[in-house]
A and B are shown apart, each in its own frame.
Chain A
Amino acid sequence: MESKDYLKDISEIKNLMNKSSRFISLSGLSGILAGIYALIGAATAYWLVTNYSYGTLTLDGWVFRTCVLILGLVAFFSIVTGILLTTRKAKKHGEKIWDNTSRRLVFNFLIPLVVGGIYILIILNQQKYGQTGALMLLFYGLALINASKYSIGDIRYLGFIQVILGLICACFPGYGFWLWVLGFGVMHIVYGTWMHFKYDRN
């Protein structure tokens, strides 16, 4: 009789600790969609480069500019989808979308991401292009690992995978495109699906 009460106490303690320090309404579906956007973007860029640029990228050409635009669009639509679906999920759970936990999550996610983004821009300006794919994977992975402390702990593993892919990519810059597709496209879909079935369907 008493033991049952204590058990309830412990589970309530755990629940409150999670609820007050982690934002857990992240939507798995948005991960899947982000992966699909990345794949569409990558396929379009690949098609452009092989058909109009003879397999190489000249940096002042329109093909390169279009590729950069595609990259921007992929990022933009992924973020918008993520915000929309997460808001919907938070509403369904009766949670606030913008409170201390989500603020902390976004802030800690952005630190490695913004630093990485600036760094990539700097080395692009120095005409060092080979490592761009690797750096994107590395910094994105670190951002996920950093954010995992403030959200569902599982996204840490996605972070590790991205970092490992980033390191492989750094060794074999020639496969940068395919590793990017694997990391941002395929892994997002795999991971999003897993999260969707683990957390969203109840």
Chain B
Amino acid sequence: MSIITNINKVFDHRIRLGIMSILMVNEYADFNTLKELLDVTDGNLASHTKALEKAEYISVEKQFIGRKPNTRYATTKLGRLEFKKHIEALEKLINKQ
């Protein structure tokens, strides 16, 4: 049972897992980069980033590059910690069987 408790509901979706994976190995990534890598629609990506932002696992920074608005995302300390826990729990689940 203790293993199951580490499976994080917030990460329990392919796209959210993908967003976190990309942000774990990059200092930051902007909206379009995430969109291309994950191959999702704007609305879909926005709703998932919002969920992660709400849980305070990622931080959002809005800025302008020239005249174009640019949104970039980065993991927070909490997000990295929770993601690692989640991965460890996944690995344990896989190894158990």
Interface residues of A (CB under 8 A from B): 2-3, 6-7, 9-10, 12-14, 16-17, 19-21, 100
Contact = CB atoms under 8 A, between A and B. Distances in A.
Interface residues of B, number: 19
Given A16-B21, A17-B22, A100 B94 contact: no
Interface string B1-32: 00000000000001001100110111001000
6 contacts: A10-B94, A12-B18, A13-B17, A13-B18, A20-B37, A21-B26
B29 A12 contact: no
Contact of A9 (B25, B26, B90, B97): B90
Most chain B CB neighbours (cut-off 10 Å) among A6, A7, A9, A14? A9
B87 interface: yes
A19 B24 CA distance: 12
Nearest 4 Cβ contacts at the A-B interface: A16-B21, A21-B25, A20-B22, A13-B21
A10 B94 CA distance: 10
Q: Would you call the interface of chain B mostly helix, strand, loop, or mixed?
A: helix
Contact of B24 (A2, A6, A10, A17): A17
B1 to A, nearest CB: 15
B94 A3 contact: yes
Given A6-B90, A13-B18, A20-B26, 15 more contacts: A6-B93, A9-B14, A10-B87, A12-B17, A13-B17, A16-B21, A17-B22, A19-B37, A20-B21, A20-B25, A20-B29, A20-B37, A21-B25, A21-B26, A100-B26
Contacts of B37: 16, 19-20
Nearest to A21: B25
Contacts of A6: 90, 93-94
